[in-house]
Structure 1
Amino acid sequence: MHHVGIPVSDLARSVRWYEDVLGIAPNGVTIAAANPAIGAIVEVENASMRASFALAGDNVLLELIQYDNPEPEPFTGRNCDVGVMHLCFEVDDLDAAHRDLVSRGVYVNADPAVLQDGDGVDAGPLAGTKILYLRDPDGIQLELFELPDDTGNDNP
């Protein structure tokens, strides 16, 4: 995977938020585009956009994109809606991350949960994993994920 593109309403605000809250600093690459060829590729008539890239982890770039034209509509997708995706970031200590997010005023959907078999959950190989969902400044869903100690770093 090369990058994940995230349309945002305010590029400068989102760049600051992703760096300050998630520690994902811009890598110095920014682009701007406003021509018919780009508009055709993204299927947005008269598209004009600016983007900033930031390295998330060892090898995935986030591309934060602000469309200046046409004016974007606010994000309203629910996690269950087709096409709505989320980014998941692995953390070493989800409880500490949760406390930090709350102290910063970041919107978290609910307190962290531990995936355990029972009560309507079949956790399978992810039993013991802690999860937390939060929202960025545009309401885009993000997930934090802490694997249990006994699984090491063997991702499912």
Structure 2
Amino acid sequence: MAFVLEGVHHVGITVRDIRRSRDWYARMFDLEPGPVNHGIGEDLARSVQVPDAELSFSMIAIGSTRIEFLEYHEPIGDDFDRRNCDVGAAHVCFEVSDIDAAYADLNEKGAVFSGPPVSIDEGALAGSRWAYLRDPDGIQLEIWQSPR
């Protein structure tokens, strides 16, 4: 190969209201959002494959990876309606040091989980625990604790 894949720089999530999402993720996970930027023009529209696109975008760093929030002002997109089994549905998984503490803290802050943490008892991931929750736009997230 002529290049080296060095890691994941960011995961992009299109949201309805960038400020609401930045505030929610910052509050839930104790993160510091970066500045909000604005984009418009032919190069942007061609690159994102959305004619006449106008959008705001902002990133939140989590270690060496970032989540990028994108709010399209033009055109206005449809609300998220994917089920976990639908092709193209994706989720962001946050690794936590103590899933029980994370679950309790996030619940206190108003997070909506689909259920309490689940344990994996067999196979290569035995000892891992996870739980799904959704952000304000209904986008699937996960918290994960690796075996200790």
* Counterpart residue type for residue 27 of structure 1: G
Q: How does 1:17-56 map to 2 (within 5 A)?
A: 17-28=24-35, 30-56=36-62
SS of the residue corresponding to residue 112 of structure 2 reads coil
* Whole-Å separation in 2 of the counterparts to 1:22 and 1:73: 27
* Counterpart residue type for residue 52 of structure 2: N
* Whole-Å separation in 2 of the counterparts to 1:72 and 1:24: 27
Normalised to the residue count of structure 1, the TM-score between the two structures is 0.86
**What is the match of residue 126 of structure 1?**
125
In structure 2, which of residues 8, 13, 38 is the aligned counterpart of residue 6 of structure 1? 13
Cα deviation, 1:79-104, whole Å, max 9, x if unaligned, reads 11111111111101111111112222
**What is the match of residue 144 of structure 1?**
143
4+ residue runs of structure 1 moved beyond 2 angstroms? none
Deviation at 1:56, TM superposition (A): 1.2
* Counterpart residue type for residue 128 of structure 1: G
* Counterpart residue type for residue 75 of structure 2: P
Deviation at 1:23, TM superposition (A): 2.1
| Identical positions, percent | 40
In structure 1, which of residues 95, 100, 106 is the aligned counterpart of residue 105 of structure 2? 100
* Whole-Å separation in 2 of the counterparts to 1:79 and 1:22: 23
Question: Gaps (5+ residues) in structure 1?
Answer: 118-123, 150-156
Cα deviation, 1:24-49, whole Å, max 9, x if unaligned, reads 32133x32111122111111111000
* Counterpart residue type for residue 109 of structure 2: R
CA-atom RMSD in angstroms: 1.1
Q: How many residues align?
A: 141
Question: Gaps (5+ residues) in structure 2?
Answer: 1-7
* Counterpart residue type for residue 113 of structure 1: V
Normalised to the residue count of structure 2, the TM-score between the two structures is 0.90
* Counterpart residue type for residue 88 of structure 1: C
